[in-house]
Structure 1
Amino acid sequence: MLQGIGNLPRFKGVIEKAKSFTIYIYAHHKTLALMRKYTKKRDIVRPGVTRFATAFLTLQSLMEKKNELRAMITSSEWSETKHAKSVKGKAAMNIALSASFWNGVSLSLKVFAPLVKVLRIVDGDRKPSMGFVYGELIRAKEEIKKVFKDQEAHYRPILDIVDAKARDRLDSPLHVAAYLLNPYYTFADPSLENDEVVMDGFFTCVEKLFPDIQTQNLVINIELHKYLKKEGLFGRNVAKEGCKQNDDAYDPVGWWNLYGNNVPTLKKMAKRILALTTSSSGCERNWSAFEGIHTKKRNRLDTTRLNNLVYVQFNARILNKKRREKEKNVDVLIASEANMAQGWIVDGGDDDVVSDLPSERVGEESGVDGGLEPRRGPRIQEIRELDEDDFISDDEEEIDDL
């Protein structure tokens, strides 16, 4: 989804210019040292779990450091280097000083940000995401319309891509039922009961979960009515206040535990649906733990010991991640290594990382192009991390710039 939007001419040109700028900066010792001096040792390339996440995070990083980068380009230190006189150096300077480029970066971030928010919810593991995907996707589309001031000619190509990718993936009866059963959305917008798509999806879900007509009648005609009209415990001010904000403390399953006692069948259904996840990321991380332990040299491990080692390693990662989240509020989009950032620091770097999974996994629901665990390509030896010193020396002849 997001990769397709990034390929639209309006955004593709901006991303390509940003890539050419970062590749040039990271290709030389002098420019890299100068950039880190002006940005106080902060890198401008930020690896993400997918290529699109890397693009978004890096554009965001560039925008945050816009003033520092422009100051670097216009400094005497830059003009005194031979890079300022080279063809690529002049191109990098023109990009950094171009108002149209920075306007393009700003527009790209405004369009991508609402969809990235959905991605963060889906791939995050703080709470189950099923109850939020459909609602946040609707909000994302509304925010994109506002970015273009409701001018359909501008936002329509973007929403067409979103709708095409979401069709039969993010608008299933299960997603729609979760949307209706999440009081964060339903209590804020009572008109949902008049939405034909939402109600049809909910009825379909009820028919699948409860085959007998008596239970269907109970859930739809009696218990759902109490929920939508806020009868009984649903009408208490504390219940309304408890689902007003979607913060870290809000848990729709816990909310139903507290206030759904007068609709026991609907409560059971809501808890089952709202407790679901919408991404296979957790399973993929578990598979990667198995791959890291069950190597050719250790393929004689008995099953019990293998499972114990995976259990310890996987849980150690979870504990370490929670510690880092507590200390630094770690973003779920940031990768632990620079594999997905190669296209931003090396020419042709995108060709070095090949996805193990098809582009349309259940991460389709997260809008991700490719899997979270990349397989390294045949040029693995050329892939480098951001802090390695294998850049072009100032004394080397730059054939490309002649």
Structure 2
Amino acid sequence: MKKGKTIVKYFKSHQVPSAILKRYQNSNYDKKISLKLPVKTRWRSSAICLNSLQLNQLAIELTITELSRNQTVRIDDDVKSIILDDGFWKDVDNLLKVLNELVIGISIFESDTPCLSKVVDWYYNQLESSVYVFDIVGNNIKNIIEKRWESIYHPVMEEKNGVFVNKLAWETAGKVDPITWWYRNFSYSAPELTQVAKKVLSIPTSSAVSERNWSAFAYIHDKKQNRLRADRVLKLVYIFNKENIDGRSIDEIQTPDENVESDYEDECSSSESEEESFNDNETDDSDVSS
């Protein structure tokens, strides 16, 4: 990761290499694909940084080759050795595969409808994934996942007695929502445990949804619109969120599992990094006073 940041910083701080890189980007990709630095405030920025390097690999190598023949421009020896090292680009590919898996998982857990029941499925899929066998970093991450798996899914939990031996119930376990599954099969035979399962499985996996909701409130009730009553703010936030949903087509409204991967790929491939923002339309003073 440090080597990747070194390359990005070099092109961002040197005008001539940056201009040559843009020329090769236009000739090979017909567009400019900007190099992006990872930042602490965006958890997926490390994967986006490596993805931008991967997309620009050919243009970067051609740029360094041309600069090596140019006697008037001096190239940093460390940057040159990193770019011309095939092992570095293999490490980028392997690390990006690992980070993509983690990014998709975090995106699911920070979606609008996250619950603890999805965590078990994600962990199980990671144990079966082959992206962690390429290098030492991947193996270390898989070891961490396995330790977590052992702590949340003990073999004792596989033992079934009494009403939980129902084969029909377990055949439908992966086809319906976990909370619905508990209510359909055990609401009468194990009512207390069903209530516990409902509360546990309904726990959100992160506070991302609440933070997005707070951002919507901050956008509606800002310094200019600070005289709005609480009930009016609630109505405006509801309308604001509903307009965001209605503005999309039916095909775009999918479950988090279906659209999270495509959203991440779109962000990685975009030429300009887009920060999450709200509509720039401001309410008139007359509307506020009313």
1:30–1:70 Cα change, 3 Å: closer
Give the drift of 1:306.
Answer: 2.3
Amino acid at match of 1:259: N
1:233-288 CA deviation, whole Å, 9 max, x = no partner? Answer: xx02xx445445xxxx7532233344335433333322232222111111111111
What is the CA–CA distance in structure 2 between the aligned matches of 1:323 and 1:256, rounded to whole Å? 30
Are residues 1:23 and 2:3 paired? no
Instruction: Report if aligned partners of 1:131, 1:274 keep a CA contact under 8 Å in 2.
Output: yes
What is the TM-score when the length of structure 2 is the normalising length?
Answer: 0.64
What is the CA–CA distance in structure 1 between the aligned matches of 2:228 and 2:240, rounded to whole Å? 16
1:43 to 26, 30, 33: 33
Match of 2:53 in 1: 62
- The number of residues matched between the two structures is 264
1:283 to 201, 207, 210: 210
What is the CA–CA distance in structure 1 between the aligned matches of 2:184 and 2:32, rounded to whole Å? 46
1:56–1:137 Cα change, 3 Å: same
Give the drift of 1:35.
Answer: 1.8
Gaps of 5+ in 1: 1-11, 181-190, 196-223, 341-371, 374-402
1:51–1:143 Cα change, 3 Å: same
Gaps of 5+ in 2: 278-290
Instruction: Report if aligned partners of 1:15, 1:55 keep a CA contact under 8 Å in 2.
Output: no
Instruction: Report if aligned partners of 1:128, 1:274 keep a CA contact under 8 Å in 2.
Output: no
Partner-residue secondary structure (3-state), 2:33: coil
Match of 2:237 in 1: 310
What is the CA–CA distance in structure 1 between the aligned matches of 2:228 and 2:29, rounded to whole Å? 48
What is the CA–CA distance in structure 2 between the aligned matches of 1:154 and 1:294, rounded to whole Å? 45
Match of 1:32 in 2: 22
What is the TM-score when the length of structure 1 is the normalising length?
Answer: 0.49
Partner-residue secondary structure (3-state), 2:116: coil
1:305–1:273 Cα change, 3 Å: same
What is the CA–CA distance in structure 1 between the aligned matches of 2:72 and 2:202, rounded to whole Å? 59
Amino acid at match of 2:48: L
Instruction: Report if aligned partners of 2:109, 2:115 keep a CA contact under 8 Å in 1.
Output: yes
1:365-402 CA deviation, whole Å, 9 max, x = no partner? Answer: xxxxxxx99xxxxxxxxxxxxxxxxxxxxxxxxxxxxx
What is the CA–CA distance in structure 2 between the aligned matches of 1:38 and 1:145, rounded to whole Å? 29
Instruction: Report if aligned partners of 1:95, 1:101 keep a CA contact under 8 Å in 2.
Output: yes
Where do 1:82-97 residues align within 5 Å? 86-88=73-75, 94-97=81-84
